């Protein structure tokens, strides 16, 4: 018999209901077990299949249920506590935004952050911790287990939140950049009535309304130093800051990759002043 003791009645009852539901569901396929509740703080689990080894069937079953329960009942609470008590973000809206990023990291939804692959197996991490501490006849104390046996998981969450905060701050910086570029365009007279931007093989080339290529000398002449966002890039590699500095009244962009990150940023900046066309349309138009 496994006895699981709880300090919090709510968690005890919730887990009991989950175990009861699963055992009823899987009894139809041969799971011979029962669960009972003693008072409001202790769950008893009995496995009585003489033909299937406990460690081949019931042990992985209970371990999986406990693992999922920890993730779904405690992870968000712990992340929010880390955000506030470790990194001192007290604004509720900021906390929720950082929480959303952290959860997406943990779920493996951030392909742009390859260094976080180690977070994706936290289910296995918790599972193994439970597996080492559950046996066929054991008394198990739930809250002390979370405190003392999942320390490394807590450290993992701290690292995850730190990275989520970095991403959040970058996003805030990006949004501030977008807004400052929009304001610059609104507050300054156009230097060019129309600019054609051609995106081909990863490079962006500017042309004026006569299809004359805008030279690097012209770009350097108009480039506003205070607008430079692409730190670390050479001027010829920049796109956002030079184009905003030219303050075109209208932008026509030609590309075969309309969802490129730079193009999406340009759309966010110029909004209704920008139209996107296929790359071949520029070739035909130029002819």
User: How is residue 111 annotated by DSSP?
Assistant: T
Range list of β-strands (E), the chain: 2-5, 33-38, 42-47, 138-141, 192-200, 203-207, 248-255, 274-278
Contacts of residue 93, defined as CB under 8 A and 6 or more positions apart, other chains included, come to none
Span 82-99, pLDDT tens digits: 999 999 999 999 999 999
Span 259-281, pLDDT tens digits: 999 999 999 999 999 999 999 99
- Answer whether 0.75 is exceeded by the pTM: yes
45 contacts 99 by C-beta, under 8 angstroms: no
* Domains in the chain, CATH or no CATH each: 2-179 (no CATH), 189-286 (3.30.420)
Q: In whole angstroms, how far apart are CA 110 and each of 114, 172, 258?
A: 8, 18, 21
Across the chain, mean pLDDT equals 91
Span 192-247, pLDDT tens digits: 999 999 999 889 999 999 999 999 999 999 998 888 887 778 888 889 999 999 99
**Confidence grade of residue 29 (pLDDT, cut at 50, 70, 90):** confident
Q: Is the dihedral of CA 87, 91, 94, 96 positive or negative?
A: positive
User: Does pLDDT of 13 surpass 90?
Assistant: yes
What gap in Å lies between CA 90 and CA 71, rounded to an integer?
A: 23
Tally Cβ neighbours within 10 Å of residue 210: 7
Residue closest to 15 by CA, chosen among 52, 46, 50, 44: 44
User: How is residue 230 annotated by DSSP?
Assistant: S
Contacts of residue 192, defined as CB under 8 A and 6 or more positions apart, other chains included, come to 208, 209, 214, 246, 247, 248, 249
């Amino acid at each position: 018999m496994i006895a699981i003791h709880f300090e919090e009645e709510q968690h005890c009852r919730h887990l009991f209901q989950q175990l009861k539901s699963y055992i009823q569901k899987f009894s139809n396929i041969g799971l011979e077990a029962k669960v009972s509740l003693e008072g409001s703080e202790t769950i008893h689990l009995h496995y009585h299949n003489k033909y299937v080894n406990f460690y081949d069937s019931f042990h992985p079953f209970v371990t999986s249920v406990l693992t999922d329960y920890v993730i779904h009942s405690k992870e968000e609470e712990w992340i929010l506590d880390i955000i506030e008590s470790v990194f001192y973000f007290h604004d509720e809206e900021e906390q929720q935004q950082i929480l959303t990023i952290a959860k997406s990291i943990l779920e493996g939804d951030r392909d742009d952050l390859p260094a976080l692959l180690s977070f994706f197996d936290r289910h296995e991490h918790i599972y193994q911790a439970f597996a080492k501490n559950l046996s066929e006849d054991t008394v198990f104390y739930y809250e002390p287990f979370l405190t003392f046996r999942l320390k490394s998981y807590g450290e993992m969450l701290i690292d995850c939140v730190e990275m989520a905060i970095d991403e959040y701050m970058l996003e805030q910086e990006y949004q501030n950049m977008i807004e400052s570029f929009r304001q610059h365009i609104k507050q300054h007279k156009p230097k060019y009535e129309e600019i054609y931007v051609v995106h081909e093989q990863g490079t962006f080339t500017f042309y004026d309304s006569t299809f004359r290529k805008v030279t690097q000398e012209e770009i350097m002449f108009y480039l506003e130093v205070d607008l430079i966002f692409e730190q670390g890039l050479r001027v010829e590699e920049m796109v956002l800051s030079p184009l905003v500095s030219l303050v075109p009244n209208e932008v026509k962009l030609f590309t075969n990759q309309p969802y490129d990150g730079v193009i999406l940023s340009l759309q966010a900046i110029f909004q209704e002043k920008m139209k996107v066309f296929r790359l071949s349309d520029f070739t035909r138009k130029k002819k």
